[in-house]
Chain A
Amino acid sequence: MNAPHDHHKAQLEPLRAALYDFDHNAVERALRDIVHDNALIQLGWPFETLADTQALLERAYSPLASAWPDLERRDQIIIAGSCGSGAYWVGCCGYYLGTFARPWLNIPPTQRPVAMRYHEFFRFVDERVVEIQAVWDIPEVMQQAGVWPLAPALGREWRAPGPATQDGKDATPRDAERSAASVELVNRMLIGLSRFAEGGAAAMELPRYWHPRCSWYGPSGIGTARGIDGFRMFHQIPFLNGMPDRVGSGDTGHLFGDNDYVGFTAWPGMHMTLSGDGWLGVAPAGQPITMRSLDFWRCENGLIRENWVLIDLLDVFRQLGVDVLARMRELSNPGLDAR
């Protein structure tokens, strides 16, 4: 039963190795070997759906590697499992690291170390990756360059750590029962969240699912929150105030477990209306939007202890009519080129 999952993890190893010591040819080879010709490759805004592995390489990886010449990929969590629909997924959470030597996406270089979190999910069919859903935390790079052009985060902005237990890449054989229990916990928690609209905060029963010392590692622009109160204060209350009608796109989402870890990916995974004040300092104008939110959870003794969340905020702002990269360019290069 676990054989396909461990095998899928192993199948990604050549790609991960090629990205660790980024080497253009090795990455090209590894992508070709593992990714199906007709795979659906989705990377957050501004990359969006990429036609094939060559496009992934040329539009995303090559520019990154030329801006960060010593590019290195560091995985902190690697999990595999199958979701209710039977699809097989591998999820990777970690960060790209390098020396920021040249501009990337017009973000000005700092000549100093730079890091960017990623959440990347790979779906397997018959030994091949047929779908990729991935978000890179580009706002994290803007912040390190001092050119994040939008409102400051309510939470703490930092380089989100790996799991407290340091076992995100543990080779312990996947236990089906334990994995199912973790999925069950997260699933019940998610159902609890959906009761907010009718029953308010109490109906979500957060303490039933969340450890009192939980950490919530949100995307740059929102930041990290600590404890249930911190999570409520710095993320959930503003989020629900702004978008009280948010609905998870349950049928298109993929939730799977691997021992104490659970992953979730969807493209998009939520739809909602920005109708209230409070979220990211954005004035609500009743815009309907969707959200790509890619999650990793770590469970501990029947409670959620850690949660890594990346939301494609640049895609959210694009839907709200704000081109974050364009505003960033105005901030970092105010008309000097025009003359």
Chain B
Amino acid sequence: MPTTDTSRAKALILNYQTELERAGREHRDEDGFAEVIAGFAHEDLHWYGVHPFGERHGSHAVARAFWAPLCGSFERLQRRQDIFFAGRNASDDALWVVSMGHLMGLFDRPFLGIPPTGRVAMLRYAEFCHVTEDRIARASLFVDLIGLMQQSGLSPLPAATGQHFVYPGPRTHDGLQLADADPVESAATLSLIDRMVDDLSALNLSGEDRCPPEYLARTWHDDMLWYGPAGIGATYTIERYQAQHQYPFRTGLTDKVFNGHICRCAEGNYGGFFGWPNLTNRAAGGFLGLPASDKAADMRVVDIYRRDGDKLAENWVLIDLPHWLLQQGVNVLERSRELTQASFE
């Protein structure tokens, strides 16, 4: 029987994952999924889902918005978890459990209007669950829908500056931290993430969009791997990260404001955060290969890190790009529907 708060919370979430997967295999309906979620969550569960799922309250709303439709489209859904850890949020000491990897299945029926392929699909995800009194009180779920569209042969965005592929888990293959980690290591990871975020915030304030590589080298490993969302792609090494993401991002976006995080926590060598939204900014032209906009837009972002010694070595990132684009008047899901379901019938 687990004794610490973190190990009890992790056990709760692992059971939750198992039961959700079982419900999918059993082709449970909306009520069936709601029942599973209700078995692990508080009645007033507050769920944050990326566009188009949105914020939902209560088990039934979450089942209806996400799990029942996803498992209806993805046959034999498997959660392929690459990173799993728990930690206390820096600002309010809330206990969060973090899971990251892919939701894999046979993409057999349309999902959100994205045409099925009948083949394996890997939907990249990150899930944060806030646990109180042995139940989930709040949860956020980020999935890379643009990555799924690309697997279906759709290209809703212009060519990426980085390279997008099915991203691997940590190089060290130790991302599933089922046992509690040494708190000293956890604190070191959190403090390194804090310093990196502070460095970026300083750039926002100074307006310096093209910082030298040495500046990043203060917190980043020389061999840093940055796994960005579909539409941006992954990059390797500090110099290529700057060329293929940081500079396009920083120079292509203006009026950048950092709004803080709902959760920022770490355990062992792993840590991460999400915000709702983390950032507010305005497209100045060029980012994602898209033109400038006069509208400020919120950006919801997940970052998960692996620390190696005193540097950040790997970083998995999800951005709710469909939501960010929608605020500027671009509905990528609707456009995909038009693209694939053009009909004169």
Name A's B-contacting residues (CB within 8 A).
99, 101, 111-112, 146, 333-336, 339
Answer whether A334 and B153 are a contact pair too, CB < 8 Å, given A101-B345, A111-B343, A111-B344: no
Inter-chain contact B117/A334, CB cutoff 8 Å? yes
Interface flag for B162 (CB, 8 Å): no
Q: B337 interface residue, CB < 8 Å from A?
A: no
Which secondary structure dominates chain A's binding surface?
loop
Q: Which residues of B lie under 8 Å from residue A101 when comparing CB positions?
A: 343-345
Interchain residue pairs with CB less than 8 A apart (13): A99-B344, A101-B344, A111-B342, A111-B344, A112-B342, A146-B153, A333-B118, A334-B117, A334-B118, A336-B108, A336-B116, A336-B118, A339-B108
B321-345 to A contact mask, C-beta < 8 Å, 1/0: 0000000000000000000001111
A200 to B153, CA, bound (A): 45
Q: Are A334 and B119 in contact (CB under 8 A)?
A: yes
Whole-angstrom CA separation of A99 from B344 in the bound complex: 9
**Shortest distance from the beta carbon of B224 to any chain A beta carbon, whole Å:** 37
Interface band, chain B: 10 to 19
Q: A333 to B117: give the CA distance in the assembly, Å.
A: 8
Contacting residues, chain A, for B119 (C-beta < 8 A):
334
A149 to nearest B CB, angstroms? 15
Shortest beta-carbon distance from A114 to chain B in Å: 13
Among residues of A, the one whose C-beta sits closest to the C-beta of B119 is: A334
Measured CB to CB, the nearest residue on chain A to B75 is A339
- Kindly provide the distance from the CB of A339 to the nearest chain B CB, expressed in whole angstroms: 8
By a CB distance below 8 angstroms, the chain B residues around A111 are: 342-344
Residue of A nearest to B340 (CB): A111
Contacts of A99 in B (CB 8 A): 344
12 more CB-based (< 8 A) A-B contacts, given A111-B343, A334-B117: A101-B343, A101-B344, A101-B345, A111-B342, A111-B344, A112-B342, A146-B153, A333-B118, A334-B118, A336-B108, A336-B118, A339-B108
Find chain B residues with CB under 8 A from A334 CB: 117-119
Q: Which chain B positions have C-beta within 8 A of A333?
A: 118
By a CB distance below 8 angstroms, the chain A residues around B117 are 334
Interface-centre pick from A112, A146, A339 (highest chain B CB count, 10 A): A339
Contacts of B343 in A (CB 8 A): 101, 111
Q: How far is the CB of A101 from chain B (nearest CB, A)?
A: 6
Q: Could you tell me the distance in whole angstroms from the C-beta of B105 to the nearest C-beta in chain A?
A: 14
**CA A271 – CA B153 in complex, angstroms?**
40
- What is the bound-complex CA distance between A111 and B117, given in angstroms? 18
B125 to chain A, nearest CB (A): 24
- A336: nearest residue on chain B (CB-CB)? B118
B154 smallest CB distance to A (angstroms): 12
* Bound-state Cα–Cα, A230 to B117, Å: 38
- Min CB distance B71 to A, Å, is 15
Q: How far is the CA of A45 from the CA of B344 in the complex (A)?
A: 30
Give Cα A101–Cα B342 distance, bound, in whole angstroms: 10
Q: Mark B115-135, 1 if CB is under 8 A from A, else 0.
A: 011110000000000000000
Of B108, B118, B343, B344, the most chain A CB neighbours within 10 A belong to B118
Hey, which chain A residues are within 8 Å of B116, CB to CB?
A: 336
Give the residues in chain B near A336, CB-CB below 8 Å: 108, 116, 118
Q: In this complex, what residue of B is CB-closest to A101?
A: B344
